[in-house]
Amino acid sequence: MARIGFIGLGNMGGGMAANLAKNGHDVHAFDLNADALAKAKAAGCLPVDSAAEAADGAEAIVTMLPAGKHVAEVYDALFGVAGPTAILIDCSTIDVATAKQVADAAQAKGLAAVDAPVSGGIGAANAGTLTFMVGGSAAAFERAEPILAAMGKAVIHAGANGAGQAAKICNNMILGATMIATCEAFVLADKLGLDAQAFYDIASVSSGQSWSMTSYAPLPGIGPDTPADHDYQGGFAAALMLKDLRLAMAAAQDVGADTPMGAKAAERYEAFAEAGQGGLDFSAIIRTLQGNA
């Protein structure tokens, strides 16, 4: 079992750190929020007073932070204390350029680094069933894999540094656009007089099937339990979907990719968030189509 420094104990990071501790790792955890530190302690982690203290003596350092600027700032603080054999594992969702830059900076200091953003949401973080998309060298991936496996059900090597972030934003661009199309279909079906359950029973086994339909239906009482059954509380916040779509659009602009559906999805989620609905689950976008937002 490894000594692990974990930095960033928010909605996702708290569950991830707890699962590392549950799997027997010695987790030294840091967050600016005192309540998050208390929860980490209750879950078997050792709370510490700074990111540098979490990194000191760690064999692996895991970060789960809001944006690229935070990752860059924390990495600057880590470089002076991280041991020469430590591996840096950033699980944040950030822009591809920053992911490459911090990995290059780490490697210049003689440290291995991977970007390993996640898919699965808060429930999967708590349950230890996340999917990790990992960018980095084959050797770095091999070192990171057992750490990530303690927090997830799938750990997939996407390619070189930055590839994990690229996979994440492309995946979530599909998710954002597909959810809107799924919501549109449910609303249209209702206006055409179709029973929602009957439509679900048909579409979920037909060519219109998608994860947004069968695993995350945006209407309450349809399919498995989803945030829609809890007034769209919990799950994956619309503001976070907007963040990922903005990252995807920025990346598309950088490489000259034409992403009209992704761009339209970003516009809809931006308007939804600006209307004060960013804290709701992203499937609550259906309310804008129903006229409820």
104-140 pLDDT tens trace = 999 999 999 999 999 988 889 999 999 999 999 999 9
CB 112 within 8 A of CB 161: no
User: Among residues 41, 109, 153, 168, which one is catalytic?
Assistant: 168
CA distance 232 to 44: 31
193-215 pLDDT tens trace = 999 999 999 999 999 999 999 99
What domains appear along the chain, each with residue ranges and CATH number? 3-159 (3.40.50.720), 166-290 (1.10.1040.10)
Quote the tokens at residue 35.
Answer: 């309540």
CA distance 283 to 241: 10
Radius of gyration over every alpha carbon of the chain, rounded to an integer in angstroms: 20
Q: How many C-beta neighbours within 10 Å does residue 248 have?
A: 27
Task: Look up the pTM and report it.
Answer: 0.92
Q: Is 168 a catalytic residue?
A: yes
Whether the pLDDT of residue 293 is over 90: the answer is no
CA distance 264 to 177: 8
CA distance 199 to 172: 25
Residues pairing with 7 in the sheet: 30, 63
Question: Strand pairing of 46-47 and 26-30?
Answer: parallel
Whose tokens are 């079992």? That residue is 1
216-234 pLDDT tens trace = 999 999 999 999 999 999 8
CA distance 194 to 52: 58
CB 4 within 8 A of CB 147: yes
Whether the pLDDT of residue 253 is over 90: the answer is yes
